[in-house]
Structure 1
Amino acid sequence: MKVIIAPDSFKGSLSAHDVCTVIKKAFSDEYPEAAVTTVPMADGGEGTMEAIVSAMNGFVQPVTARGPLFDMQQVAYGVVGDTAVIEVAQVIGLPLVPNEKRNPLHTTTYGVGEVIIAALEAGYRRFVIGLGGSSTNDGGFGMLCALGATFTNASGERLPPMPSSLPHIAHVDMTSIDRRVYESEFLVACDVDNPLYGERGASHVFGPQKGADRETVRILDQWLYTYAQKIEQQTNLFYAQEHVAGAAGGLGFAFLLLGGKLIRGAQLVGETVQLPQKMKHAHIVITGEGQSDEQTLYGKVPFYVAQLANEYHVPAFLLSGSLGDGFDKLYAYFVSCDAIATKPMTLEQCMRSATTLLYTKARNIARIIKRFS
């Protein structure tokens, strides 16, 4: 019996790697004859780098880069073979900004560009980028500056890599970008469908959760419009209205300018960790997440895993922290849908006891599979 364990993290309690470890232990205790393969998963947001590095036996490379407030910090990128894995949330994530300082008028993506440069210096030319969880709304302006793009005002003065520079852009020179960037492949995990600006753009949809009030949203949206217009007029690159341009406060737009390919997060992570190849030889797959509900059907890791399992005619089991509204719709894709709670308990109690609860439920599943295999 070949079993694949391919879950997302249980946010706030267990990483994807931890979930794999617990479920594997349950199978080892109850069904030691089973050949278990663990494949930690993610959707491009928090935990993406760790999941890919863990699944592929890669390593983490520490680097120094500027954070969202332009302060120096220790960050890292992952390395898997010839690929550098960058998790944007680790460099410019919202948790890196104190609550009282959360305002996307003052946060920059410059550090992301610095990490890319560090990886280029180390010889990497293939990148997997997880966009989720950013604190920024600068359209990737800061990142482009770090990569060598030149933006000047009407007086010919080079503009600093902060959002406040956007309305003052008079001249754009993308040819000054480090040539190694254009020799590279950027595969970008993205699960949003929003243009750069407008009512469905980055500022209006994601700005408020990053600390922007109504007036700040209006200002940011106008700045992104001006920024995009200048780039379009002077480079003939028209990406602002692409449905993924608004991802991560407009970082999606910047990666499109660099020739990046924006791909659904779970799919990109799955292909990077070679889940389709591993699925071909599996008899059973187990996946899960913190909470599964109707929203799981919209690009979440368990749904991607289930679709892949169905494609290869592999029975899929869902084992999540909890089951929410509309979870019954998941039965069309899973043999069973289980929550780990064994009795009535609060969310805090469940998260605190997640390891024990998950082990117990996984042990039951292992016993059932063993009994009927």
Structure 2
Amino acid sequence: MHILIAPDSFKESLSALKVAEALKEGFSKSLPDATFDLMPIGDGGEGTLASLIDGLSLEMRTQSVTGALGHSVSVTYASKGSLAVFEMADVCGLEKVQKNERQPLTLTTRGVGELLVKLAQSGMTEIMIGVGGSSTNDGGIGMAAGLGYQFIDEHGQPLEAVGANLAKICQIIPPQENPLAGVKVTIITDVQNPLCGENGATYIFGGQKGLEENQFEMVDTDMQSFYQLANPDILKMACAGAGGGMAAGLVTFAAGEIFSGIDAVLDILDFDVRVQKADLVVVGEGRMDRQSLSGKAPFGVAKRTPEQIPIIAICGSLKDDLPDFPNHHIQAVFPIISTVDSLENTFAQTKSNLIRTAQNIGNLLKL
């Protein structure tokens, strides 16, 4: 049996590569004659960069830019030739902000724009950005400020480029020279949500970033008001809500193009060729829920897998809003948590839980 193992990372627990290695260890115990192809993946959110480094033979580098709290931070990107890849989450990700500091309307995405400029100045002509996992909800205006854009209020005064000021912006002044002239900006994202509305950035993701539910309507209205001024067409575009509206900002201010994160990653990793050799495909993520159905890694892999090849998912936990399986070409889904424990202890046991679950599934496959 040849098993293709293609998990996403388990957030706050293990990288996608570590998950894949643990699953291989478990399956090997019960299926000693099996062969494996480990393909750790990302879908545009956190962990995407790591999945691309091996696939593209990229070199890791660092750069200093402004972080979400306004302080200088060192961020990681990868490059090869004139191509550079980085994740928004590494600049202003939710996991980089303490819970008591999670105020998405006052945090900044300026560092994303600063990094784009520095990469362009260093000779990069193609930049891929994984947009997801952000701590912000500013529609990308902080990023635009990092590119040199200015935002002016009704009194002709410049405004700080944060989400709290979206509704106050009356004029947008572009930089005198385009710092990204000749640079192709590719946006890869793990969500399909539009910028505004009940399925938009604020209503769907604002709560986990620190917004109160009673703020959603006002913040969403402010975002819509700004983009009526900046780029009304973006309000109709799928995926524009990714990264607290960063995808919309990159399209509007950096001439970026949006691509499905999982499809971009699978193309780069030559998935369509590698999957032809598989007798079984194993996918997974830390928490699977109904959101996962719309473009997240496990279902993106399933969509690209030939119908005759079975797929199973191994996940940290499952939300009760999932449909019954088989579904979306995934035959069965297995959560790995074995005991009720604290979140900290549960995360610490992720590797052993993955190994045990894979070993048990392997035993079942031998029947």
TM-score, normalised by the number of residues in structure 1: 0.82
Shift >6 Å, 4+ stretches: none
Give the aligned partner of residue 251 of structure 1: 246
Q: Distance in 1 between matches of 2:40 and 2:206?
A: 30
Structure 1 counterpart of 2:272: 276
Deviation of residue 277 (structure 1)? 2.9
- Once the two structures are superposed, residues 304-361 of structure 1 have per-residue CA deviations (whole angstroms, 9 ceiling, x without a partner) of 22222235x32223223345544642366235443435x5554755543322232233
Mean alpha-carbon deviation: is it higher for 329-338 or for 109-118?
329-338
Q: C-alpha separation between the residues in 1 aligned to 2:330 and 2:148?
A: 48
Cα 1:157–1:336 shift into 2, 3 Å: closer
Which residue in the other structure is 2:50 paired with? 50
- Map 1:35-184 onto structure 2 (within 5 A): 35-79=35-79, 82-153=82-153, 158-174=158-174, 176=176, 178-181=178-181, 183-184=183-184
**1:15 alignment counterpart:** 15
What's the C-alpha RMSD, in Å, of the aligned pairs?
A: 3.2
Deviations 1:118-176 (A, max 9, x none): 22233323233222221222211111121133434566655443345544434324464
Counterpart check, 1:267 vs 2:263: yes
* Identity score, percent: 31
Which secondary structure state, in structure 2, belongs to the residue aligned with residue 310 of structure 1?
Answer: coil
Q: Quote the Cα distance in structure 2 between the aligned partners of 1:309 and 1:139.
A: 35
Alignment-derived partner of residue 5 in structure 1: 5
Deviations 1:83-123 (A, max 9, x none): 42222122112233333333233112111111222222333
Q: Point out where structure 1 has 5 or more consecutive residues left out of the alignment.
A: none
How far apart in 2 are the matches of 1:28 and 1:92?
A: 39
The answer for the alignment partner of 1:188 in structure 2 is 188
Change (3 A) 1:350 1:88: same
Contact 2:186 2:259 in 1 (8 A): no
CA gap 1:340/1:135 in 2 versus in 1, 3 angstroms = closer
Distance 1:113 1:177, change over 3 A: farther
Q: How do residues 19-38 of structure 1 correspond to structure 2 at under 5 angstroms?
A: 19-27=19-27, 34-38=34-38
Task: Assess, with a 3 A threshold, how the Cα gap between structure 1 residues 363 and 54 changes in structure 2: closer, same or farther.
Answer: farther
Find the residue that maps to 2:238 and give its secondary structure. coil
- The one-letter code matched in structure 2 to 1:253 is A
Cα separation, 2, equivalents of 1:151 and 1:182 = 24
Instruction: Identify the range of structure 1 (326-335 vs 55-64) with the bigger mean alpha-carbon deviation.
Output: 326-335
Instruction: After superposition, give the CA deviation of every residue in 1:19-67 in whole Å (9 maximum; x if it has no partner).
Output: 1112233455665654422111223222222232255443322111111
SS of the residue corresponding to residue 329 of structure 1 reads coil
Mapped partners of 2:356, 2:104: distance in 1: 44
Corresponding residue pairs, total: 364
- In the alignment, the residues of structure 2 paired with residue 280 and residue 160 of structure 1 have an alpha-carbon distance, to the nearest angstrom, of 52
Task: Return the alpha-carbon distance in structure 2 between the equivalents of residues 332 and 154 of structure 1.
Answer: 51
Q: Which one of the candidate residues 271, 282, 285 is aligned to 1:286?
A: 282
Q: Distance in 1 between matches of 2:75 and 2:204?
A: 28
User: Aligned residue for 1:306?
Assistant: 302
Partner Cα distance (2:327, 2:201) in 1: 34
**Equivalent residue number for residue 226 of structure 2:** 227
> Could you report, residue by residue, the CA deviation over 1:265-296 in whole angstroms, capped at 9, with x for unpaired residues?
33333233332232233333222223445554
Distance in 1, Cα, partners of 2:350 & 2:98:
28
1:297 counterpart letter in structure 2: L
For 2:334 and 2:164, locate their aligned partners in 1 and report how far apart those are by CA, in whole Å: 49
- For residues 294 and 167 of structure 1, what CA distance do their matches in structure 2 show? 32
* 8 A Cα contact 2:61 2:78, kept in partner: yes
Task: Decide whether the 8 Å contact of 2:7 with 2:284 is kept in 1.
Answer: yes
Q: Which runs of 5+ in 2 are unaligned?
A: none
Classify the secondary structure of the residue corresponding to 2:354: helix
Partner Cα separation in structure 2 for residue 26 and residue 101 of structure 1: 39
TM-score using structure 2 length: 0.83
d(CA) in 2 for partners of 1:130, 1:275 = 19
